[in-house]
């Protein structure tokens, strides 16, 4: 059933927002794994743990904001499977930061694609 509040909201934009929600949640999940790794007694880098935990919360907030926007526009949030992080053990803090940077670039690229799609459907 179509929402009465839905207006000028392309289905492909709705689907893209759902994909972006999943991207953000996967990043949050990965950062949580990073934090857990650095919190282990054998690694014990509490500031790194705190940093990555903060990043995890930030990514989840992004997903929540997108879900709220989806509802505001009359769309429906469709959650997808969240894949486990591909890397959960690090050679060093630098290794983790490089992995995080690559992930942030991928998240940003996904956002840029979402933006381009939104402009196309304006």
φ/ψ region of 75 (left if φ > 0, alpha if ψ in -120 to 50, else beta) reads: beta
Q: How many helices (H) and strands (E) does the chain have?
A: 3, 0
What Cα–Cα distance (Å) separates residue 105 from each residue in 12, 27, 102, 109?
Answer: 23, 11, 5, 6
Q: Which CATH number fits domain 11-120: 3.50.30.30, 1.10.1370.40, 1.20.1260.10, 3.30.110.30?
A: 1.20.1260.10
Provide the annotated binding site: 24, 59, 62, 104
Q: pLDDT digits over 45-67, tens only?
A: 999 999 999 999 999 999 999 99
What pLDDT shows up at residue 3? 76
Find the mean pLDDT for residues 4-18.
87
* pLDDT above 80 (res 6): no
What pLDDT shows up at residue 7? 79
Provide the annotated binding site for Fe cation: 24, 59, 62, 104
For the chain, which residues make up each domain, given as ranges?
11-120
Find the mean pLDDT for residues 13-26.
97
What pLDDT shows up at residue 101? 98
> Whole-number mean pLDDT of the chain?
94
């Amino acid at each position: 059933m179509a929402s009465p509040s839905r207006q000028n909201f392309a289905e492909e934009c709705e689907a893209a927002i759902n994909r972006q929600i999943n991207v953000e949640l996967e990043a949050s999940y990965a950062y949580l794994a990073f934090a857990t790794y650095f919190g282990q007694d054998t690694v014990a880098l509490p500031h790194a743990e705190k940093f990555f935990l903060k990043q995890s919360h930030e990514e989840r907030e992004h997903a929540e904001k997108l879900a709220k926007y989806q509802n505001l526009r009359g769309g429906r949030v469709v959650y997808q499977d969240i894949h486990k992080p591909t890397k959960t053990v690090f050679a060093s803090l630098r290794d983790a930061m490089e992995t995080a940077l690559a992930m942030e670039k991928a998240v940003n690229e996904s956002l840029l694609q979402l933006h381009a799609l939104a402009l196309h459907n304006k």
